[in-house]
Structure 1
Amino acid sequence: MKARLRRSAALLAGSLVPLVLLAGPPASAAPPDPLADAFTRAAATYEVPRDLLVTLGYAETRLDGHGGEPSASGGYGMMHLVSNPTVHSLEQAAKLTGQPVSALKSDDAANIAGGAAVLRAYANELGLDAAARKDAGKWYPAVARYGNASSSEVARLYADTVYELLASGVRAATPNGTVTVRPQVVRPERGAYAKAPDLDRTFAAAAVDYPGAHWAAASSSNYAVSNRPASNAIDRIVVHVTQGSYAGTISWFQNPAAQVSAHYVVRSSDGDITQMVREKDRAWHAGNHNSRSVGIEHEGYVDNASWFTDAMYRASAALTRSIADRYGIPKDRTHIVGHVEVPGADHTDPGPNWNWTRYMQFVTGDTGGGNPHTPQSVCGSGYNVIDSAALGSAGTVYLLYNNSTGYNCVTTIKSTSIGTASATSAYLEVQGATRVTDSSDFAYYAGPIRASGAGKCVKWGGKAGSTGYDSPFEHCG
């Protein structure tokens, strides 16, 4: 890389250990990877644990600098140095390293050094001495701050993601080799963040429109309160890609300066879902489709297919299926569209790497050799889906209701191990009556469980594989 890494006297003030120049590798050794070398040099220069620095960058961008183009929230380079109306870590990095902003945006080595310098500055403010800086677990509050989160719970979500990656290890292909972090046991010292709500915990169903989603409200400056579908029919679902990380997107939608939002955000690694705007309200995500649509953001970048995992496709498809069932939206590509397909849109997401064929197969259940059964075929004529909950990638549990008879029905439809008997269950409990459960090794589905529930609250749920869902008493009437 042409950019030279510079020490920051203001940041380090005599705290640097002189760098030792090592002899070059033997002639038979593979040439060093410039990107791996940049992480090693930046970590040594700013006394940041090298593996923590790599993992933070991987959590932000998968170590992809995107050619100097910014993320949705104004973050640059693989270390996601941000410049927007409320966050200025890019400018802070320029001051700390002496590098020009232009280099920090587009030069990988400069950007990595900038990220290390900012992270070290936060460690200095925490009072981490030389001994403490060697323990990656003590950097947790500095990592949490690096995410520029709008709330303590999102800061915790951001830092937990970094430390979970540190525990599982990282292997990222680069243009000239591979950057690797070995799995390791690190005990994060959360400090004040230990008291912050954990957004990875399940929220009560009453707090969200989609069972199993978490709730983190977008700023009221970023959406319009409404009363849909009474005020406007909901007949479209719009698929987006965040151009940023999961935690970073949640934080951006909570920032009043953003002036954008979506109803849901889906995580790449495991399909985790956070709701940020109630479906009745109009999120600002799709221009002239805002009044008629529900918007789903997916963690990642349009030019990097590695973000679009099986877990993400399956979880998002289950969410889309639930929305479509509840509003009577046809499950086709006329009504389930990408942002780029919205008339007048100037965005390209979800982009050419998004596998629409695979996604729509998951939405419709037509996966070729997949589960041939639907909730309606299991429960019978007259039943309509009124709620559902994804059970990871293993299946979905459905609650249906028959308006003519006043009966509820619950069934769990498998998505994996189709045709092979495996542990699957479903249950229905009408308030004041005994819970009825169907649990065994089933090849396709558990249930149906039917019970008269007109005018009464019900609890419902089920399990497929190791993932289960349990509702509170709800749908009272």
Structure 2
Amino acid sequence: MAGAVAAAALLLPLLGAAPGEAAGGAPLRDAFARASAEYGVPQSVLLGVSYMESRWDAHNGAPSVAGGYGPMHLTDLSVALAEAPHHSHGEEDPRGDDARPMAAPEAGDLPVPEASELPAHLRTLPEAAGLTGRSVEELREDPAANVEGGAALLARTQRELGLPLSEDPADWYAAIARYSGADNSATAAMFAQDVFSVISAGQERVTDTGERIVLAADPRAEADPAQLERAGLKRLDQDGTECPPTVACEWIPAPYEHLGGDDPGDYGNHDLADRPADQSIDYIVVHSTEATWDTTLMLVQRPSYLAWHYSIRSSDGHIAQHIKARDVGWHAGNWYVNAHSIGVEQEAFLAQPDAWFTESLYRSSARLVKYLAKRHGVPLDRQHILSHDAIPGVTAANIPGMHTDPGPYWDWAHYFQLMGKPFHQNANPHGGVVTIRPDYATNQPVYTGCVSAGVACAPHGSSEVRLYSAPSEDAPLVRDIGLYPKNEGRTTIGVNDVGARASTGQQYVVADRAGDWTAIWYLGQKAWFRNPADRPAAVPTKGLVVTPKAGLASVPMYGRAYPEASAYPPGVPVQSLAPLPYRFEAGQRYVAGDRFRPEYFWNTTFGGRGTVVRGQEDYYQIQLGHRVAFVKVSDVDVVS
């Protein structure tokens, strides 16, 4: 994908908001106007580029997950990495299979690179400082100075390309493509086309400082892909990839290798299979890498490590595919989910002090997931597009070590809106099912542990609501006996503690109401969250609900949908069906997802494609707490 072919394929905007009227005088809007006049860059170009980088947010001077600062995402990655906290967010067995358990592999401590060792697109902030005469501190912390720095970089690039400092945004296509920092024409074209989509359609938004910014639609913003030839970017070889034409994607394979010795089970870092012929693909699991892009690629190419299907770069949305969809990756920490899922890793750190993700990452990930969902028949909802932190432990002992990414700062509402599946009300306001849906920007629960244990994280929008044991913020949080067994502590507000949190898009059954508070069934108890009518944190929706069959005091719940013992043929060891520690008691109800035929994928030998064991006793997936779980169909009744 390069040149005109790339641009034509990428001319597919994900949003088209109607433009609003010009806002009154405001500091950020005025900064765009001043920078446009001083450097000769059209204001619409500055606004379009900034929207794609940051959606015009300043983030109080904190870096993005790609080391970018401010509305123009000027990069200084060596500084960002030096200041970033490093977190362990789980100690799970990534394969998640009792038949072949493996210790969580160590990535190892990696040194922070020197600025001179970084590619140019990851140190644009010092360059902008030299062009503007402003200090790097100003460019990091002052949004107006940051906008000036971005304008200076765009103007310099335009001159280097031999193009005029024109008032027509169409003349800036190549400079915008170069601004992405991509080293290939396909990724650069994807970024430039998204910018032109925003400019031509118009956009408006209230920023994180409360300022309303408006970009009026400009019909002159017609892309000229021929300009890309001036950018001098390499062509990207996308042969062999399973990606939509609207993204830039390359094949960087994860090695499938025997690790030596006489043990046929000593191999890595994924399993061969023949999906969907041998088993269905039911989930797409969204992760955060907890590592930089270069480190992520290094690890996935390490035979003794683990592997997933796709990685997405935060700075420009570039995608690398590592495993074919037919094969099974080791990524979710639950073998049943691994066998039925595609793993998508996004370059990110869950708990930066002000964790934020670029619009390029959101859009590229949304395009990929929407494409994969359509190709494999996966519904676009939170019961099938699972966060890594929603994956259940396979047994009670595994629960405390399960991962917690992508964390509370990932904007699920924006993500699903980009996929064309927004969460909205579709039922009576007093109905029995709700979909969690707080306003991301203004929903800012306090978390701790981003920088150090017990210390409050910087205020930040969140997709999650906090759950209490009574309708009061003075009440204790609901208790997660899986995370804290045998009275060994209580749920906390730590950024990695998912024990008392419900996430945007997840559906729950209403258990009670009291004034501005709503209670849901959650981990076998009533869990309360603030849900005032003038600022709702959830919307009423329809859903399939299950409850224990009449006469049963409680029913067991499981972390996997495995077959009954009698289904296993000779040579395949029977897998345990130990229930999770939570109680699903009579009178309680949970929203159910799909009905699944029980399956177990037996594969422990290098080179083999395994055996799929199928049982007869079906399961329903339910939204038990923050994580999902499974119940046997024979144990529950279904309520519409």
Q: What SS does the corresponding residue of 1:32 show, helix, strand or coil?
A: coil
1:163 maps to 196
Report if aligned partners of 2:283, 2:385 keep a CA contact under 8 Å in 1: no
Structure 1: distance between partners of 2:389 and 2:321: 22
Structure 1: distance between partners of 2:297 and 2:318: 20
Structure 2: distance between partners of 1:51 and 1:43: 9
Residue 60 (structure 1) aligned to one of 53, 61, 72: 53
Structure 2: distance between partners of 1:286 and 1:349: 15
1:277 aligns with 2:310: no
1:82 maps to 75
Distance 1:242 1:169, change over 3 A: farther
Report if aligned partners of 1:239, 1:337 keep a CA contact under 8 Å in 2: no
Computed over aligned residues only, the root mean square deviation of the Cα atoms, in angstroms, reads 5.9
Residue 154 (structure 1) aligned to one of 169, 176, 187: 187
Residue 126 of structure 1 deviates from its aligned partner by: 1.5
Distance 1:180 1:75, change over 3 A: same
Report if aligned partners of 1:219, 1:256 keep a CA contact under 8 Å in 2: no
Report if aligned partners of 1:172, 1:180 keep a CA contact under 8 Å in 2: yes
1:296 aligns with 2:470: no
Structure 1: distance between partners of 2:249 and 2:368: 22
Structure 2: distance between partners of 1:345 and 1:382: 24
1:47 maps to 40
Q: Deviations over 1:311-350 (max 9, x none)?
A: 959956974995999xxx9998898449xx9949797635
Question: Is the deviation greater in 173-182 or in 188-197?
Answer: 188-197
Distance 1:147 1:344, change over 3 A: same
2:286 maps to 239
So what's the TM-score if we normalise by structure 1? 0.51
Structure 1: distance between partners of 2:157 and 2:371: 40
- The alignment-based identity, stated in percent, is 28
1:314-393 maps to which residues of 2 (within 5 A)?
315=369, 319=373, 336-337=390-391, 343=401, 349-351=407-409, 353-354=462-463, 359-360=505-506, 368-369=542-543
1:207 maps to 241
Distance 1:316 1:359, change over 3 A: farther
1:183 maps to 217
Alignment-mate amino acid for residue 239 of structure 1: V
Q: What SS does the corresponding residue of 1:93 show, helix, strand or coil?
A: helix
Say how many residue pairs are matched.
Answer: 324
1:416-435 maps to which residues of 2 (within 5 A)?
none
Distance 1:114 1:189, change over 3 A: same
1:120-159 maps to which residues of 2 (within 5 A)?
120-130=155-165, 133-159=166-192
Q: What SS does the corresponding residue of 1:207 show, helix, strand or coil?
A: coil
Report if aligned partners of 1:241, 1:350 keep a CA contact under 8 Å in 2: no
So what's the TM-score if we normalise by structure 2? 0.40
Distance 1:83 1:315, change over 3 A: same
Residue 215 of structure 1 deviates from its aligned partner by: 6.5
Structure 2: distance between partners of 1:91 and 1:214: 30
Structure 1: distance between partners of 2:333 and 2:388: 17
1:92 maps to 127
Distance 1:124 1:219, change over 3 A: farther
Structure 1: distance between partners of 2:386 and 2:189: 38
Alignment-mate amino acid for residue 322 of structure 2: V
Residue 351 of structure 1 deviates from its aligned partner by: 3.2
Alignment-mate amino acid for residue 309 of structure 2: H
Q: What SS does the corresponding residue of 2:271 show, helix, strand or coil?
A: coil
Q: What SS does the corresponding residue of 1:94 show, helix, strand or coil?
A: helix
Report if aligned partners of 2:252, 2:320 keep a CA contact under 8 Å in 1: no
Q: Deviations over 1:360-381 (max 9, x none)?
A: 559xxxx73479999989xxx9
Residue 157 of structure 1 deviates from its aligned partner by: 0.4
Q: What SS does the corresponding residue of 2:218 show, helix, strand or coil?
A: coil
Report if aligned partners of 1:265, 1:299 keep a CA contact under 8 Å in 2: yes
Residue 105 of structure 1 deviates from its aligned partner by: 1.0
Q: Deviations over 1:290-329 (max 9, x none)?
A: xx795425699956899989x959956974995999xxx9
2:94 maps to none
Q: What SS does the corresponding residue of 1:217 show, helix, strand or coil?
A: strand
1:111 aligns with 2:146: yes
Residue 228 (structure 1) aligned to one of 270, 276, 295: 270
Structure 2: distance between partners of 1:157 and 1:192: 14
Report if aligned partners of 1:83, 1:89 keep a CA contact under 8 Å in 2: yes
Alignment-mate amino acid for residue 344 of structure 2: I
Report if aligned partners of 1:59, 1:161 keep a CA contact under 8 Å in 2: yes
Residue 171 of structure 1 deviates from its aligned partner by: 0.6
Structure 2: distance between partners of 1:235 and 1:275: 22
1:240-279 maps to which residues of 2 (within 5 A)?
240=287, 253=293, 259=298, 263-264=309-310, 276-278=321-323
Report if aligned partners of 2:287, 2:387 keep a CA contact under 8 Å in 1: no
Structure with a larger share of its residues in helix: 1
1:390 maps to none
Report if aligned partners of 1:264, 1:273 keep a CA contact under 8 Å in 2: no
Q: Deviations over 1:112-169 (max 9, x none)?
A: 0000000000011122235xx1111011000000000031100000100100111110
Higher relative contact order (CA 8 A, sep 6+): 2
Q: Deviations over 1:158-213 (max 9, x none)?
A: 100100111110112133531111112122222253799999xxx99x732x8899
Q: What SS does the corresponding residue of 2:204 show, helix, strand or coil?
A: strand
Alignment-mate amino acid for residue 286 of structure 2: V
Report if aligned partners of 2:32, 2:47 keep a CA contact under 8 Å in 1: yes
